Amino acid sequence: MPQVNDAPSPGTSAGTLPSISMPDRLDTVFGAMDFFDGLPLPDAVGHGYDALDLLRGIEVFLNCVPGASMVAMRRGLHAIGVDSRTIGCLSPRCSSAPLILTANTETTYGMTCLALDQDGPTVIEAPGNSLCFVNDLWQRHVADMGIAGPDKGAGGKYLFLPPGHQGDVPEGYFVVRPATFSSWVLLRALNGMEGLLQSRIYPLSEAADPPEQRFLNFAESEFNTIHANDFTFFEEIDTLVQGEPPQALDPERAGQLAAIGIVPGKPFRPDDRMRSILDTAARIASGIVRTLCFKPRDPGFFVYSGSSWKNPWPSHNHEFLSPEGARLLDARAVYHYFAAGTSPAMAAAAVGAGSQYVYTAEDSTGALLEGGRGYTLTLPAGIPVKNFWSVTAYDPQTRSLLRTEDPHPSVNSLSEDVRAEDGGETVVHFGPTAPQGREANWIRTVPGKGWFVVLRLYGPLESWFDQSWRPGEIEPV
């Protein structure tokens, strides 16, 4: 018979392998955790669960910002009378009165939230020459309409079916099946209010005789569409979870939410300890995502080497996927913290179609932008756009349009007063006072207050993509 030898013992006591053993006391940011030979003593149990609940709360905040943002958007629209059969609009353009994440002041917007559980299958007639899209209540892309959609800018009828719809589907529509009953609809008409007024939203049951479309102009209305940064954030998420099919929630986020007590069909009733921890988690997570947003460490955010201009889609993918298929969690949190809505046409626009965005909160020295100083931004000649460009200033607290005496903190190519220099370049000025003779090229800022800027290109051309054209840095004066 073959001989079987005993393996030599290299010595595997816990005392000789500190990498797998637990000391009697572990000092942590959550307090000291005491153990008896690796077994947790009562204080370690309390601190351990406090730490775990805090970490889970932070994870939920960072991963669920898209959903909380849509709940807040819907709540804000409902507060001013925009329901599923009303199109809220910004005519002629958005002012700094409403708090809306990085809204621009040039495009004629229309928006509403569908209610497929109440209205049933719903038709949207998208206007021609538009850039429209729909996101579900988790802010996942559902459909593009208009230039980037299947109607190719000619306008078309889109039929949105509720989750689980089993009925007949009539012909003559672009059929869309969102995962949630409520979806955010953003209509952007490039030919202004005249184009937007061609939009229609109505239940399929009324398609034979659609009712007159109701529009509500909220361009000058003060209301809030921005999610909370405290315990209330988790109540916003619970509203979403309880109002939508459980299948709309992916297993990973469902597990994180369940760990803090948010479960479909069950009341969310945290005790005082858990409320305090979740409130702290939301505040910490807000600080983390602001750091990720304005001081990212991922080099993929930066558009050019040595530049402060950042691209909110580091992988140019609207689902925030890397080339290897990994979810870029930081990028997803960053984008949805300061912007609303995503689509392929925004993340990876084709030449001459869609739109591109870059942003910064720093000047050319790396210092944060401060409203009491003067700055300039030079856009070289030949700005590569088919449609128009804009430079817009925002409040870093609200991530909404910067509120000053001017309700439209923007310089853009749609204004006939904006002047180019003799060499063809356009210089945008920032500061509390206007440079003489350059008032039309000036954006007012507020002393003692920070700000950040977004450069938008609608219909970006080849020189943007090959980077033969690039914007200058923001230079302190």
pLDDT 10s digits, 139-162: 999 999 998 899 999 999 999 999
Sign of CA dihedral 27, 29, 31, 36: negative
User: Which strands, in side-by-side order, build the sheet including 156-160?
Assistant: 174-176, 156-160, 122-126, 200-203
Residue range 91-109: average pLDDT? 92
Query: Which positions ≥6 away from 278 have C-beta within 8 Å?
Result: 53, 57, 231, 234, 260, 270
Same domain as 454, residue 305: yes
pLDDT in tens, 208-243: 999 999 999 999 999 999 999 999 999 999 999 999
* Domains in the chain, number: 3
The pLDDT value recorded for residue 456 is: 95
What pTM did the predictor assign? Answer: 0.93
Same domain as 318, residue 406: yes
What is the residue-wise DSSP string for 241-305?
A: HHHS-GGGS-HHHHHHHHHTT--TTS-----HHHHHHHHHHHHHHHHHHHHHHHS---GGGBSST
Residue range 76-90: average pLDDT? 97
Does residue 254 form part of some domain?
no
The pLDDT value recorded for residue 354 is: 75
Average pLDDT, the chain: 94
**Counting beta carbons within 10 angstroms of the beta carbon of residue 160, is it exposed (0 to 12), middle (13 to 18) or buried (19 or more)?**
buried
Residue range 467-474: average pLDDT? 98
Residue range 58-62: average pLDDT? 98
Q: Is the pLDDT of residue 11 over 60?
A: no
Residue range 307-329: average pLDDT? 95
**Last residue in a domain, options 189, 217, 245:** 217
CATH number at residue 184: 2.60.40.1610
Does residue 60 form part of some domain?
no
Same domain as 23, residue 108: no
| Gap between the Cα atoms of 472 and 379, Å rounded | 6
The pLDDT value recorded for residue 436 is: 94
Host domain of residue 98 = 83-217
Residue range 120-132: average pLDDT? 95
The pLDDT value recorded for residue 84 is: 98
The pLDDT value recorded for residue 39 is: 96
Does residue 288 form part of some domain?
no
Same domain as 345, residue 461: yes
Buried/exposed code over 334-354 (b: 16+ C-beta within 10 A; e: otherwise): bbbbbbbbbbbbbbebeeebb
What is the residue-wise DSSP string for 359-401?
A: EESB-TTSPBPBTTS-EEEEE-SS--EEEEEEEEEE-TTTSSB
* Residue 10 pLDDT grade (very low, low, confident, very high; cuts 50, 70, 90): low
Does residue 184 form part of some domain?
yes
Q: Is the pLDDT of residue 16 over 80?
A: no
Percent of the chain with pLDDT over 70: 97
The pLDDT value recorded for residue 17 is: 73
Does residue 56 form part of some domain?
no
Same domain as 155, residue 20: no
**Last residue in a domain, options 183, 198, 217:** 217
467 phi, psi to nearest 5 deg: 65, 25
End-to-end CA distance of the chain: 90
**Last residue in a domain, options 186, 217, 248:** 217
Same domain as 320, residue 188: no
Does residue 103 form part of some domain?
yes
Does residue 239 form part of some domain?
no
Same domain as 305, residue 444: yes
Percent of the chain with pLDDT over 90: 87
Query: Which positions ≥6 away from 436 have C-beta within 8 Å?
Result: none
The pLDDT value recorded for residue 140 is: 97
Same domain as 144, residue 35: no
Same domain as 90, residue 19: no
Please state which of the ranges 29-33, 169-173, 425-429 shows the lowest mean pLDDT: 29-33
Same domain as 33, residue 94: no
Does residue 277 form part of some domain?
no
Same domain as 443, residue 300: yes
Q: Is the pLDDT of residue 424 over 70?
A: yes
Same domain as 122, residue 36: no
Please state which of the ranges 127-141, 166-180, 342-356 shows the lowest mean pLDDT: 342-356
